[in-house]
Structure 1
């Protein structure tokens, strides 16, 4: 069992716990995007082990018969990219084959800027081979991303649009101030509405950016993505009108992830601690009991479904 606070942001240490959480969210109209925590495996056996667990996970998700569309989210360095592109593609191909068989969508996370080319190349290849059963993350803070969007707009998959990632970016290739990153994200959304076929996937917790997307969509289908434990009321509210997907992490490597989430979401963390110390006793969360929207304190550069290098 995870300690208090951590269990707000992590579903548990096992796939069964993640699927139990996913089942509860599905009843609220929120689709799960399940992730086995871990990254940067430098040896092939470790990467193969996580790839094997993902293959089992998609079987379990299919057997759970969840409402909506279940998905998994995979970090390229978790399944072999640090061992070379050939290893990465071999292992990703196996995961994707299982996912297609069991009708589970596969998302590729984006990590350091040095992994972008290999990740996008794999996405483009496998999205075409799987008839669009793959999605990939595009980070607005990288100056190259508008060009990447143009190149990938007609690929039969999905593009997850985030503000940025958790890794440091050289100023020569990235926007590094909050204002410029916000501007870049708005430009990315605008261009996506003009060029992307299918839904535009908006992955941010920033209320201003969510409002911007809903105002500018002009008939384009929208999907919103959130992290588990962050703005749960907003997730439920949006799910009454739009497709909403929640990133559901699990695994034994949860400590760094939970610490990072707690640091970036001070309001939720304080309330989780308060609820632990003074239980409400009626099954309600502190947020629901007091009837207020809890502010989320997060860095604009990392307010999407970014990799955190756990």
Structure 2
């Protein structure tokens, strides 16, 4: 059971609890990106176990007719064991999802995984004519070139500022510079992509930037936010735009919860209130 301190950010420890949360979101016109928590496995057994659960989750989503898709992490699917392991497990999941009409997002992890993740995404997206999405991080110096590379690849691209802490030789470290990179990436995407743009941000200024670019270029886009963060804003935005909430679940919640608490003072205050009231 997920303790009260974390259940704002994690939708329980089972697929059933996660899909029940999704049902509530759908009732408020918000769609869901469901993620089974887990990452950086150094043994094949948990890789195969999580991959099998994702395939079952695809069946559950398709059978429930919920507005939902899934999101996987490369290191969860065995990238630390070898790129061939990751590609094999990912291909099985994407094939199963394609058979059921369920979209698959591939999360982007730290900068050392970028090439393997990009290559796998492009291969899967071209093979299936879409049905797969990838995340690009604005804080990486290489991302402008990566955005151009993906302009003609079917599927979707999620743009985020970047949640990891890469070294300065591969990333921008100044917040103002990262914000400018993000703005420029959105401008390029709305101008050059035919659609499939996901704005992964809780920053009101970036969401306003995206809506203005949508008005200028007419390019389709969606807004993505995390479970437990600015949820009332998500519901408000869903009255006019397509909004997706990232919904993690599972018993490996501790590291994910820690990152959420450390990201924003508001999240830290919420966690402290939960401790004091328990």
1:1-310 matched pairs, under 5 angstroms: 1-66=1-66, 68=67, 70-166=68-164, 168-217=165-214, 218=216, 219-271=218-270, 274=273
Shift of 1:261: 1.2
Name the SS of the counterpart of 1:18 in structure 2. Answer: helix
Shift of 1:198: 1.3
- Deviation sequence 1:267-292 (CA, Å, 0-9, x none): 2453576588779xxxxxxxxxxxxx
- Shifted more, 70-79 versus 42-51: the winner is 42-51
Q: Is the 8 A contact 1:22 1:32 kept in 2?
A: yes
- Deviation sequence 1:93-126 (CA, Å, 0-9, x none): 1111111112110000001111100100000000
In the superposition, relative to structure 1, how do residues 131 and 264 fare at CA in structure 2: closer, same or farther (>3 Å)? same
Shift of 1:199: 3.2
Shift of 1:248: 0.3
In the superposition, relative to structure 1, how do residues 267 and 85 fare at CA in structure 2: closer, same or farther (>3 Å)? same
TM-score where L is the length of structure 2: 0.95
* Partner Cα separation in structure 1 for residue 131 and residue 247 of structure 2: 19
* Partner Cα separation in structure 2 for residue 108 and residue 26 of structure 1: 22
* Partner Cα separation in structure 2 for residue 91 and residue 73 of structure 1: 13
Name the SS of the counterpart of 2:178 in structure 1. Answer: helix
TM-score where L is the length of structure 1: 0.85
Q: Is the 8 A contact 1:230 1:265 kept in 2?
A: no
* Partner Cα separation in structure 1 for residue 270 and residue 89 of structure 2: 41
Q: Is the 8 A contact 2:6 2:271 kept in 1?
A: no
The count of corresponding residues between Structure 1 and Structure 2 is 276
* Partner Cα separation in structure 2 for residue 88 and residue 243 of structure 1: 31
Unaligned runs of 5+ in 1: 280-310
Unaligned runs of 5+ in 2: none
* Partner Cα separation in structure 1 for residue 170 and residue 252 of structure 2: 31
Q: Is the 8 A contact 1:4 1:273 kept in 2?
A: no
Name the SS of the counterpart of 1:41 in structure 2. Answer: coil
Name the SS of the counterpart of 1:7 in structure 2. Answer: coil
* Partner Cα separation in structure 1 for residue 115 and residue 234 of structure 2: 32
